[in-house]
Amino acid sequence: MNKYLEELKLRLKESEYEKLSRIRCEKVHKFILNSIKLCNPKEVFICSDTPDEVAYIKHMAIASGEESAALATPGHTFHFDGFYDQGRDREATKFLVKKGDTLPPTLNQIDREEGLNEIFSYLKNSMSGKTMIVRFLVLGPRDSVFSIPCMECTDSWYVAHSVDLLYRKGYPMFCKIKGDGDIFMTLHSAGRLDERMISIDWKKKRIYIDYTTNTVYSVNTQYAGNSVGFKKLALRLAIRKAHREGWLAEHFMIMGVKGRNNRKTYLAGAFPSACGKTSTAMLPDETILGDDLAYVRNINGECRAVNVESGIFGIIQNVNPKDDPLVYQVLTSPGEIIFSNVLIKDAKPWWLGMGCELPEEGINYSGRWWKGKKKDGKEILPSHRNARYTVSLKALPNCDPELENPNGVKLGGIMFGGRDYKAYVPVQQGFDWEHGIIAYGASLETVTTFAIVGEEGKYEINAMSIQDFLSIPLGEYLKNYLEFGKKLREVPLVFGVNYFLCDLETNEFLNNRRDKHVWIKWMEERIHNDVDAIKSPTGLLPLYEDVRRLFRAVLNKEYSKEDYEKQFTIRVNENLEKIKRVRDFYEKLNDTPERLFEVLDEQKHRLLDAKEKHGSYISPFEFY
């Protein structure tokens, strides 16, 4: 017995000690003991993943008031985060950097010792009078080369309940751990709570990432993106591990797309929050393997991927029966779902864009709500635009059967998409791995959305939709990406998608929300060489005849040459401006691979040559 376990025996109830003693890993015992000493909980609950324990956690989430089951649909509960705790908080999230280390200046960071002293001062006695819940989980399928064990100590029953829906249970795996391998650890406290079970000290919200110990510290916050340590917070840790070991940890959804002769092709996609990732992953008649995070490895020359998670923490705004019928059906049917920051009225959850008129009063994250209610001079919407739902993937009728495959699934294609109102066409294929990764992935440009606190409406480069989470220099990350592709025997095709292209005169979107299903089907056919493509300066474009056929087959909709021309016209000047913005961004970094500038310059020259021949706005028919 190690010294940490000996001391834990004195601090834990016999039943909890007995469960913990089955885990022989000294690192686990040390982390739990240090967390107890720092946070001073009234008691400790070790979850060993039995059905009774899991049910108890859900019961306590309701009994504590962190969730409410006052909804008409069986299994549904709701939770409110604080008014100022409605999204990822860039300012409060920092890397702890030890002396002598350097991280990119673009990353929010603080000296490790200074940061630990600060956050420990907030965590000190933060669990006094409360229960510390200890959860053991697995990122990726269990017993796999992809598996990463992880654990969280939290005083939030809501957090402990959420991880049951989002991750694979890991206690049995922890009982098998030997040695001193990587374990991702999180210590979280919601801090002092008011009568509504909302964090009081939100101004002292801190989310600090200690990459030297693979530990996340989170305090005075409840929003799951800040308090569940294994979403984007652990992604930062996984990126460092992937870089060391030569694989990819990505902000990817993964879907199975049905094709000819009953085949299924797996596509991954990176989109910033609120840019269409989840709605793409959940397209009807296809299968969903993941909607947010993926680990990607070279296995015998194939590019194979797994879903890091096993559930969905999805944005609920605009989920409605017309545009997202499958998700809407799940959200309105009996089953275990946590709604957060929606409007509650008549024992039902209501949210923006759900396809019906919303009540004019009810309760929401601001307390009692009525139409026209204001705070800080701004009108409070009935449901927050970053309101969420948490549900197990297996609750979805189209959950892909390969979700738990320890070898992952083979990727046929990877797509990158943001909010690009002026330049890129709705879908195009890269000329090769390097061109696609650089022109679509590294050049991913978007307007920031409500999923990020205080940052809505700003234009920014968001490479691979992962910039917020990078814990290594961006240039090193890109080099790893380019090298990864070179070592593959079967290289996925790379696509750029843009659901937000607008008419330059009216500013109206040229894509219908459901059009993305056609672009997905075209990508699947391209992967198998079922259709040809035309070469434009920015990539390979679909032929009108193929798109017209797919609109009929997929959406039962006629698609005119005028629609095609509007959507796939190459806007030369807007694309040149885009290249300049991307170049300016990367020239400020001192580690950008030279190949990035070469690929951008090649695209610039293709655009200039095309402009000389055809003008500033070039119909796709000119490339036939």
List the catalytic residues.
275
User: Which residue, among 390, 391, 372, has the nearest Cα to 381 in the 3D structure?
Assistant: 372
Please check whether residue 49 is in contact with residue 171, taking contact to mean a CB–CB distance below 8 angstroms. Answer: yes
User: Which residue, among 313, 142, 308, has the nearest Cα to 235 in the 3D structure?
Assistant: 308
Q: At what angle do helices 3-11 and 14-21 cross, to 10 degrees?
A: 160
Which amino acid, residue 572?
Answer: V
> Which residues are bridge partners to 445 per DSSP?
461
User: Which residue, among 230, 287, 284, has the nearest Cα to 253 in the 3D structure?
Assistant: 287
Task: Report the C-alpha gap between 501 and 464 in whole angstroms.
Answer: 19
Please check whether residue 239 is in contact with residue 477, taking contact to mean a CB–CB distance below 8 angstroms. Answer: yes
Sign, CA torsion 116/121/126/132: positive
Task: Report the C-alpha gap between 524 and 285 in whole angstroms.
Answer: 14
Please check whether residue 403 is in contact with residue 310, taking contact to mean a CB–CB distance below 8 angstroms. Answer: yes
Q: Alpha carbon 271 to chain centroid distance?
A: 9
CA dihedral 313, 315, 320, 324 (to 10 degrees): -60
Instruction: Return the residue matching tokens 């000389």.
Output: 612
Task: Report the C-alpha gap between 598 and 604 in whole angstroms.
Answer: 10
Task: Report the C-alpha gap between 34 and 468 in whole angstroms.
Answer: 29
Q: State the DSSP code for 441.
A: I
Task: Report the C-alpha gap between 20 and 48 in whole angstroms.
Answer: 8
Please check whether residue 150 is in contact with residue 229, taking contact to mean a CB–CB distance below 8 angstroms. Answer: yes
Those residues whose C-beta lies under 8 Å from the C-beta of residue 117, and which sit 6 or more positions away, are none
φ, ψ at 89 (rounded to 5°): -110, 100
DSSP for 91-115?
TTEEEEE-TT----TTS-EEEHHHH
Sign, CA torsion 110/116/119/122: negative
- Tokens matching residue 375: 């705070």
Angle 571-552-354 from CA coordinates, rounded to 5°: 80
User: Which residue, among 238, 139, 187, 191, has the nearest Cα to 28 in the 3D structure?
Assistant: 187
What is the distance in angstroms between the CA of the first residue and the CA of the last residue of the chain? Answer: 74
HEC-encoded secondary structure of 66-84: CCECCCCCCCEEEECCCCC
